C-alpha cells in the first residue's frame, strides 16, 4: 500500500471518528449550555492583526503526540508552555484539542486561556458548527479549517459561522486545487501546509509556489517544516507573516525556553 493511501486513510479515519465524537458531545452538552459559558462573552483577540503588526510572526504550538511521530512531549504542563510562549513574544499559540490522535483536549485550551492573554488557536479537525461554539466557550480566538476535509460549501458555512462568533479563521491548504476552492471573504488567514499529503515529505517550496495565488487581502501563514530561523527569513520576502512552529519547540524539555531562544535569535537576525 503506498503512502498516499495510508495518509488519506488516516485523514478519512480521523474525520470519521470526529463525526462520531461530535455527535456524542452534542448529546452531552447542548449548544445552549456552551453559550452560557463565562468565556463565551469574552472579546476575542485577532491573530491576523497581531501577525500583520509583528516582525517575527511565530505561532507556537502545544502538541503532545501525532499519528506520525507518536510521543513528542507528554511531560510539560500546558500552562507552563503557554506562559513560556507568551514570554517569548509568540504572536499566538496553537492548541491541539484532538484526544485520540494528538493527546489533546478542550481542557488544554481552557488551561492555556487561564494562563495567557495572547490569541489562541483551536487546532482541530472541524467539521461541524458545534465545534466552533466549543472553541468560543473554551477561550479560543481563532479556529482552523482544513480544506482537505471540507467542501467549498462547508468552508463557506463554517467560516461565516465563525465570523459571527468574532473568531478569526485560518484556512489550511496543501496545494493549488485546495486553495482555489477555498478563497472567500469570510477567511482571515490562508495557511500553506508544507507537508505533502501524498508522500509525507515536507518542503517550504510549497509555500513559495502557492504565495502568488493567495490574494493580498489574506494574511499568509506557512505551516510544517519550519525548524530554523533561516526558513522564516527565506519565506518573509514571499509575503508570509505567520509561521506555525510545533514539534521544534515541543520536542525539547522546555518548549517556552526554546521559543525564547528562537524568537530572540530571529529578532536579532532581522534583515
Active site residues: 61, 63, 123, 172, 193, 223-224
Please state, in angstroms and rounded to a whole number, the distance separating the CA atoms of residues 194 and 196.
6
Please state, in angstroms and rounded to a whole number, the distance separating the CA atoms of residues 251 and 178.
30
Please state, in angstroms and rounded to a whole number, the distance separating the CA atoms of residues 27 and 60.
33
> 243 forms bridges with which residues in the sheet?
58, 222
Range 69-73, long-range pairs (CB < 8 A, 24+ positions): 69/247, 72/247, 72/250, 72/251, 73/250, 73/251, 73/252, 73/255
User: Whose grid coordinates read 507568551?
Assistant: 86
Which of 63, 59, 45 has its CA nearest to residue 262? Answer: 59
User: Whose grid coordinates read 463554517?
Assistant: 158
Amino acid at each position: 500500500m503506498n503512502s498516499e493511501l495510508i495518509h488519506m486513510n488516516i485523514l478519512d479515519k480521523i474525520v470519521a471518528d470526529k463525526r462520531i465524537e461530535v455527535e456524542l458531545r452534542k448529546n452531552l452538552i447542548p449548544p445552549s449550555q456552551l453559550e452560557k459559558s463565562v468565556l463565551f462573552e469574552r472579546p476575542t483577540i485577532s491573530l491576523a492583526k497581531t501577525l500583520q503588526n509583528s516582525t517575527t510572526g511565530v505561532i507556537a504550538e502545544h502538541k503532545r503526540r501525532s499519528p506520525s511521530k507518536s510521543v513528542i512531549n507528554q511531560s510539560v504542563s500546558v500552562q507552563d508552555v503557554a506562559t513560556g510562549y507568551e514570554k517569548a513574544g509568540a504572536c499566538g499559540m496553537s492548541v491541539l484539542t484532538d484526544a485520540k490522535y494528538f493527546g489533546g483536549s478542550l481542557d488544554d485550551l481552557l488551561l492555556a486561556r487561564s494562563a495567557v492573554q495572547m490569541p489562541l488557536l483551536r487546532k482541530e479537525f472541524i467539521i461541524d458548527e458545534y465545534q466552533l461554539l466549543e472553541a468560543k466557550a473554551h477561550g479560543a480566538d481563532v479556529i482552523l479549517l482544513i480544506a482537505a476535509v471540507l467542501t467549498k460549501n462547508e468552508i463557506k458555512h463554517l467560516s461565516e459561522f465563525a465570523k459571527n462568533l468574532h473568531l478569526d479563521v485560518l484556512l489550511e491548504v496543501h496545494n493549488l486545487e485546495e486553495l482555489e476552492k477555498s478563497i472567500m471573504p469570510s477567511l482571515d488567514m490562508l495557511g500553506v501546509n508544507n507537508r505533502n499529503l501524498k508522500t509525507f515529505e515536507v518542503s517550504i517550496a510549497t509555500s513559495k509556489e502557492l504565495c502568488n495565488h493567495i490574494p493580498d487581502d489574506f494574511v499568509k501563514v506557512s505551516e510544517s517544516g519550519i525548524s530554523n530561523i533561516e526558513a522564516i527569513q527565506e519565506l518573509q520576502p514571499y509575503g508570509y507573516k505567520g509561521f506555525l512552529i510545533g514539534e521544534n519547540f515541543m520536542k525539547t524539555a522546555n518548549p517556552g525556553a526554546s521559543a525564547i531562544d528562537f524568537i530572540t535569535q530571529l529578532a536579532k537576525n532581522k534583515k
